[in-house]
Structure 1
Amino acid sequence: MKRTINRPMMEREYQPVSFKDVLIEMKDVSELMVDLSYSAILFDNKEIALEVINLEESMNKLVYQARIQSVLGARRLEEAEAMSGMLQVAEAAERIANSASDIAMLILKDIKFPAKLKRVFPEAEEVVTRVIVSQGSELAGHTLGELKVQSTTGMQVIAIRRGRGWIYDPDKTTRLETGDILISRGPEAGADILSTIAGAVECPSYEPSPAGAVDDLDRAVQLIIEMKNLSELSVGLAYTSLLFNNKEIADEVVALDKTLDNMRYDMDLWVLEAARKIDDVRYLRGLLYMSSFAQAISDSAHSIVDVLLRDIEIPPVFKKIVRESDEIITRIPVAEPSPLIGRTLKEASLGTVTGMVVLAIKHGDRWVYRPGKGARLQSGDIIIAKGRRDGECRLYELAGYTVEEPEE
């Protein structure tokens, strides 16, 4: 769903809409807000930060709609219990959105971030990149749907700067033009591919103040990147656990939340110690806020799986919510004729070939969460991945199945 910055203020009035559609939109908006908030930090961009704040208005309206629908939709005790579980998922999405808005507000308040943090952002498992569509590029003049950017490069375009305006969350009908600046997220290898087909014109970077280039921050910024990776993994696994009614995966989300809690304690202690050695402590404040952001996302994921762990009935509509959102989650067994058998994730290049992010792999009775590039696939393995629907079709084909690829 394409969004622009010229959005009127939302009035709090009830409009008939299905609970399913409300939750789909809440999931999509909260995920977009997280992506844009990280982009605002990386590029020190107040316009992107303002869009995150604007999206919070949309989320507030959706929360109102969700609460009304939950009341109207329950007529019996069993229905009320199931509806309470869905409302808990909706509230978790709201908390993620609120946390993203808080991070965006830091940019608007000129809170400082260390230069090293911005330099190591590309080391995250999903990077955020910015590239210009150059004259003669194969991207110019085509829509995102025609190009199938995410399923061919692994990169999802989350925003486009065109002249002085912005297009946020562009959809398949958005046509790219020469001079467009694309803000995208995905695997590092995919960023290189997108840069090449865009014409390999580098966009001028926003260089942070030299005062931010303090020493001895390596441990802290690496910890922040790890917290970012784990928090995003926990949300993907949380939706997966409910989608497939899998308590093993739910338990992993709980374990990840505890890990992030411990990492937050380590971060707080380190910052207190580092403050004595750094002249301008303002550049440490951003790290504290970012660790809190990652922890808030993880806490929200924990809240999602709490529905499953407390044996609250998960209505069939939840599967439609996950399957009809912008970013779907899929579970695919590796069949015997698959070319993936015996290859590592790095050799298969699933991220760039399909645009799907592998969250977990099940080998026999053992789950491997957040598998590394060296993880080797075998016949019968079950792959849990997230991405776009056409990317899912490509992954099915690679896993040894014959499918018809839908339009993007």
Structure 2
Amino acid sequence: MDPGEVEYEPVSVKELLAEMKDTAELLIDLAYSAVLHRSDDIAAEVLALEERMEILQLRARMSLLMAARTPDDAEELAPVLGMVGAAEKIADAAADIAKIVLEDIGLPDAMREALPEAIETVVRAEIAPDSDYAGHTLADLNLETDTGVRVIAIRRDGDWITNPDHATDLRAGDVTLLRGVEDGIAAVYERATGTEYEPPVAVDSTIEDLDRAVDSIVLMKNMSELAVDLAYGAVLFDSEGVAEEVAELEAEVDALESRFEAWTLRAAARVDDPISLRGLMHLAGSTEVISDAAVEISEGVLRGLDAHPVVAAAVEESDEIIVRMAVESGSRLADRTLADEMVKTETGMRVIAVKRPGNEWVVSPGPTTALHAGDLLIAKGTRAGAERLSRLVGDPQTFE
């Protein structure tokens, strides 16, 4: 649909906000995956999803303008408008990141080498007519349990399913976005499309400053993604403490960008074609926009403005929540790694960050990340999973 054709129609602001939140998070995920895996297919899906976001934000703005009739209404709805505007900025930044790939602006081959071996891959797979996945629900296929691969979104006849669940069926022609480690991805991709999966090839870099620049970009990416997750958590659960952590992350991204620029300029003197590094500069700028947007999402909380009831209602449309829990002395997780207690398997929660005493952050912690008493875990998942995690850390606190 052309955004120019959108007209006002009565629509649930709650549903719009929930879909914008899911879409913004998915756009960030896909945009960086397109860059890190050099995928034109994923980049093209980012641009298609950005068009959907444009329609959502227009409808949300129309509905909010119709709802504001008094000064009190305006005060209550101002933070909601801020969330809409921030989601739009995230979509624009994600599209700019995708264009780095589609327009071949220039990225060093070392980008792939910066990825940890165990990182999950996102790929685009179109369900072939003769695929044995066609005509079955995700519950029938049990993909995540059997292969470790999750269907994170489906594009069907121009419409998006951003949170497919066990009852969602797969149909021939569906464009699915799959997430998982490459061993599982290869098997699922072949069964879905009927063609062999070809993983991207990593290339070693021989320039130390370039390695540092790429590593800083990956860290900025992780921090920006975390900032967006925490920003929505701060708003949805009205937590000033979490909103302050979003602001701290944004400041750290700014500091990282300064160091990144210095390393990139040094590296430019040692590469054959300095123009080939333009994509890195574009990527850093878009990443900063995303972290700035995260602050905008949580700004109302920082300024003491109460969240509109529609925001609290919107979170109920999502299966995932964000929780913050402290590891207590003597708990099962104290002085253990995430792998030791199989946290993700046992609880279904994904630990997205660990804040150590002294304000040290570990973003995107891995299986070998050790936890200690006093560490603050930021985790994302279902409410039932949050209850299971609280038993492991010995801290029943959540954002509810």
- Equivalent position amino acid for 2:242 in 1: I
Task: After superposing the two structures, state which structure 1 stretch, 74-83 or 41-50, moved more.
Answer: 41-50
TM-score normalized by the length of structure 1: 0.76
* Counterpart for residue 243 of structure 2: 250
* Counterpart for residue 301 of structure 1: 294
- Equivalent position amino acid for 2:26 in 1: L
* Counterpart for residue 4 of structure 1: none
SS of 2:266 mapped into structure 1: helix
- 60, 69, 72: which one aligns with 2:66: 72
SS of 2:371 mapped into structure 1: coil
CA shift, 1:234, in A, is: 1.0
The alpha-carbon distance between structure 1 residues 286 and 327, as it changes in their structure 2 partners (threshold 3 A), is farther
- Within a 5 Å distance, the mapping from 1:380-395 to structure 2 comes to 384-387=378-381, 389=382, 392-395=383-386
Contiguous gaps of at least 5 residues in structure 1: 1-7, 402-408
SS of 2:73 mapped into structure 1: helix
- 44, 49, 52: which one aligns with 1:50: 44
CA distance in 2, matches of 1:381, 1:316: 32
SS of 1:224 mapped into structure 2: helix
The alpha-carbon distance between structure 1 residues 101 and 230, as it changes in their structure 2 partners (threshold 3 A), is same
1:228 aligns with 2:221: yes
Q: Residues 247 and 308 of structure 1 are in contact (CA less than 8 Å); yes or no, is this contact kept in structure 2?
A: yes
Q: % of aligned pairs identical? A: 39
The alpha-carbon distance between structure 1 residues 28 and 371, as it changes in their structure 2 partners (threshold 3 A), is closer
Q: Residues 224 and 291 of structure 1 are in contact (CA less than 8 Å); yes or no, is this contact kept in structure 2?
A: yes
1:287 aligns with 2:280: yes
Which whole-Å deviations, capped at 9, do the CAs of 1:23-52 have from their partners, x for residues lacking one?
Answer: 111111111222222232234333332222
* Counterpart for residue 240 of structure 1: 233
The alpha-carbon distance between structure 1 residues 252 and 333, as it changes in their structure 2 partners (threshold 3 A), is closer
- Within a 5 Å distance, the mapping from 1:319-398 to structure 2 comes to 319-325=312-318, 327-330=320-323, 343-359=336-352, 370=363, 372=365, 373-376=368-371, 384-387=378-381, 389=382, 392-397=383-388
The alpha-carbon distance between structure 1 residues 105 and 366, as it changes in their structure 2 partners (threshold 3 A), is closer
CA distance in 2, matches of 1:341, 1:138: 45
The alpha-carbon distance between structure 1 residues 242 and 287, as it changes in their structure 2 partners (threshold 3 A), is same
CA shift, 1:102, in A, is: 0.9
- Equivalent position amino acid for 1:218 in 2: D
The alpha-carbon distance between structure 1 residues 220 and 198, as it changes in their structure 2 partners (threshold 3 A), is same
Which whole-Å deviations, capped at 9, do the CAs of 1:292-344 have from their partners, x for residues lacking one?
Answer: 12211111111122111111121232222233236432457889998657643
- 215, 228, 232: which one aligns with 2:207: 215
Contiguous gaps of at least 5 residues in structure 2: 393-400
CA distance in 1, matches of 2:247, 2:10: 36
The alpha-carbon distance between structure 1 residues 247 and 40, as it changes in their structure 2 partners (threshold 3 A), is same
Task: After superposing the two structures, state which structure 1 stretch, 235-244 or 360-369, moved more.
Answer: 360-369
Task: After superposing the two structures, state which structure 1 stretch, 139-148 or 32-41, moved more.
Answer: 139-148
Q: Residues 339 and 399 of structure 1 are in contact (CA less than 8 Å); yes or no, is this contact kept in structure 2?
A: no
SS of 2:340 mapped into structure 1: helix
The alpha-carbon distance between structure 1 residues 288 and 57, as it changes in their structure 2 partners (threshold 3 A), is same
CA distance in 2, matches of 1:78, 1:167: 35
Q: What is the root-mean-square deviation in Å for CA atoms of aligned residues?
A: 4.3
- Equivalent position amino acid for 2:342 in 1: S
The alpha-carbon distance between structure 1 residues 221 and 399, as it changes in their structure 2 partners (threshold 3 A), is same
TM-score normalized by the length of structure 2: 0.78
SS of 2:80 mapped into structure 1: helix
